[in-house]
Amino acid sequence: MGKPTRVTNEIRALRFAAGEMTQAELADRVGLTRQTIIAIEQGRYSPSLEVAFRIARVFGVPLERVFGYPEEES
Amino acid sequence: MGKPTRVTNEIRALRFAAGEMTQAELADRVGLTRQTIIAIEQGRYSPSLEVAFRIARVFGVPLERVFGYPEEES
DNA sequence: ACATCGTGTCAAGTATCTTAGACATCTCGG
DNA sequence: CCGAGATGTCTAAGATACTTGACACGATGT
């Protein structure tokens, strides 16, 4: 339900890069539920900016390294 | 009301830097209402990541130049 | 076979973001 | 003075994000 978002992310790759971090562990470190991580990771919706910042902080990278937004061709 | 967010922004400064751009014009260019711009500019809540990206695009700057998130000291 | 872990799904509810419209205030130009 | 533009407030409703809890499935290990 809810339309999928245009925002892309590298969460899965970053989790593995960060020593096989599990979705549950990431959820815990970010302060979200596991379900929310799954939904974001799958691009089912775009998180709030605050959550996006918290995720980037956990991985220790800038926000734009985790999330992307496509150019628009009009 | 809802709690104010920890996310900071430079929208007002960027509007003026971009040739006295008005809130209504920004709202229009981003595809939001004027009210939403006001609320975000005042830090009454943090926008969705998608909206944050669109705002940054309008100003032609990276997202992290528009929005900031404080360090956390637990 | 059985238990555990990681991932994923579904459904129903709460919280937060976003919209729409009406209205108040200030400033500026005519 | 009067009108128009820019900012802001309030209320109410609609749309998304996020939570909680339960369950399914494949892989791994004992």
B contacts of A52 (beta carbons < 8 Å): 49, 52
Distance CA A51, CA A61 (A): 14
In tens digits, chain B (74 residues) has pLDDT values of 567 899 999 999 999 999 999 999 999 999 999 999 999 999 999 999 999 999 999 999 999 999 999 987 65
Distance CA A41, CA B62 (A): 22
The predicted structure's pLDDT at residue B4: 81
The Cα of B28 is separated from the nearest Cα of chain A by a number of Å equal to 16
The predicted structure's pLDDT at residue B72: 74
Which residue ranges have CB below 7 A from strand C? Answer: A 15, 22-24, 34-35, 38, 41-42, 48, 50; B 2-3, 5, 31-33, 35-36, 39-40, 45-48, 50-51
| A73 vs A66, higher pLDDT | A66
Taking an 8 Å cut-off on Cβ atoms, the answer to whether A53 and B7 are in contact is yes
> Residue B7, exposed/middle/buried by CB under 10 A (0-12, 13-18, 19+)?
buried
The predicted structure's pLDDT at residue B2: 60
The whole-number average pLDDT for the span A41-65 is 97
Distance CA B43, CA B41 (A): 5
Going B10 to B31 to B51 to B65, the CA torsion angle's sign is: negative
Distance CA A55, CA B19 (A): 34
B contacts of A62 (beta carbons < 8 Å): 64
For residue range A13-51, list pLDDT tens digits in order.
Answer: 999 999 999 999 999 999 999 999 999 999 999 999 999
Distance CA A72, CA A69 (A): 9
Q: Is the CB of A23 under 7 A from strand D?
A: no
**Complex-level ipTM:** 0.90
